[in-house]
Amino acid sequence: MQLIRGLHNLQQFKSQLKQGCVLTIGNFDGLHLGHQQVVQAVAEQAKNRCLPSVVMIFEPLPIEYFAPETAPVRLMNFREKIQALQSTQIDFVLCVRFNASFAELSADDFVQNVLLDSLHVKYLVVGDDFRFGKQRQGDYVYLQTLGKLNGFSVTDMPTFDLTKERVSSTRVRAALSSHNLTEAKALLGRDFKFSGRVIHGQKLGRTLGFRTLNINPKRVHMPVQGVFAVTVDGIADRPWPGVANLGLRPTVDGVRPSIEVHLFHWDKDLYGRHVDVTLEHFIRPEMKFESLEALTLQIGLDAELAKQFFKI
């Protein structure tokens, strides 16, 4: 899979896209089972037509551009989304910068300039509720009409249901906010995890007797908070068990979201390493303690509960 950062960089891939492509457009936040169904259909259509497959995403998400105060919390940051898409059969991910000029594109201009002139789209897969262009002028019916005039096919994907309810990013967020990791896993088709780089922290864990990995989640808000039994990938030849606090660290007046992981039976430095932190079991909500002594006592109890979960 190749990442194309911005419409201006499409020129570099002109030869690979000149015969056309099979395209889908969306946010794909979480890349849940419904998204996976769409991506798989695009990859299959592309293979059948001997064309490259393309997923178009946006950064920031359109709702974050138009209404940042009310935009839902992301399930994935940009890096995590790209990592997830790399595990699919998609050939290209086109990340479009959603800015003022792009927001001003009319539906006609979007189809002509982006879909036809730049991507030479031959087959397009979108949701039947897909809207695009300035003031959301374009919709699925409009795309079908223009497709017939310009030689590309348009299809929508049927709703993907699980337990008789539509699988959606909203539903995944609800499962995580209630700490229902089993439901989140069922909707995602995999365990929920965070990815990030190990950074230097305040070194407070060492003074408390619980050395921690500090990981920058690169998020303004977290889709889930609390204390969890976790496993960490990217540091050994197997997932390594630990206990993690996800949130703002209210006891020490934290202001930015963070992930702090205490690994069991581990004493090596990992600064600068990219790791994946998988949530395995919810232990308790994040809370503020009256003193560092009370926090230390609770961390010890949390660690014991996590060890019991892992049977170590």
CATH of the domain at 197: 2.40.30.30
- Peptide bond preceding 60: is omega within 30 degrees of 0, i.e. cis? yes
Judgement on whether residues 233 and 104 belong to the same structural domain of the protein:
no
Are residues 273 and 128 part of one domain? no
Residue at 143 is within a domain: yes
Same domain, residue pair 20 and 58: yes
The answer on 49 and 145 residing in a single domain is yes
Q: What is the CATH number of the domain that holds 123?
A: 3.40.50.620
Last residue of a domain, one of 162, 181, 205: 162
**Same domain flag for 235 and 102:** no
Determine, yes or no, domain membership for 220. Answer: yes
The C-alpha atoms of residue 245 and residue 304 are separated, in whole angstroms, by 14
User: How far lies 74's CA from each of 158, 170, 198, 218, in Å?
Assistant: 24, 10, 21, 11
Whether 148 and 24 share a structural domain: yes
Buried b (16+ CB within 10 A) or exposed e, 217-249: bebeebbbbbbbbbbbeebeeebbbbbbbbbbb
Determine, yes or no, domain membership for 246. Answer: yes
182 domain residue, yes or no: no
Q: Are residues 136 and 255 in the same domain?
A: no
Of 162, 179, 205, the residue that ends a domain is 162
Is the Cβ–Cβ distance between 241 and 264 less than 8 Å? Answer: yes
Domain assignment present for residue 256? The answer is yes
Instruction: Please give the model's pTM, rounded to 2 decimal places.
Output: 0.91
User: For the chain, how many structural domains are there in total?
Assistant: 2
Q: Does the residue 195 lie in any domain?
A: yes
Whether 207 and 119 map to the same domain: the answer is no
Instruction: Give the Cβ contact number of residue 149 at 10 Å.
Output: 9
Residues 205 and 136 placed together within one structural domain of the fold: no
Q: Are residues 80 and 124 in the same domain?
A: yes
Residue 169 identity = S
137 lies in the same domain as 38: yes
pLDDT in tens, the chain (312 residues): 999 999 999 999 999 999 999 999 999 999 999 999 999 999 999 999 999 999 999 999 999 999 999 999 999 999 999 999 999 999 999 999 999 999 999 999 999 999 999 999 999 999 878 899 999 999 999 999 999 999 999 998 878 889 889 999 999 999 999 999 999 999 999 999 999 999 987 656 556 668 889 998 888 889 999 999 999 999 999 999 999 999 986 555 555 788 999 999 998 889 999 999 999 999 999 988 888 888 889 999 999 999 999 999
Token pair, residue 68, equals 């940042």
Task: Name residue, tokens 């690994």.
Answer: 263
Residue range(s) defining the domain that contains residue 301: 191-310
Q: Where are the beta strands (DSSP E) in the chain?
A: 2-5, 21-25, 53-59, 92-97, 121-126, 153-156, 161-162, 165-166, 193-199, 213-216, 226-233, 240-247, 258-263, 274-284
156 lies in the same domain as 215: no
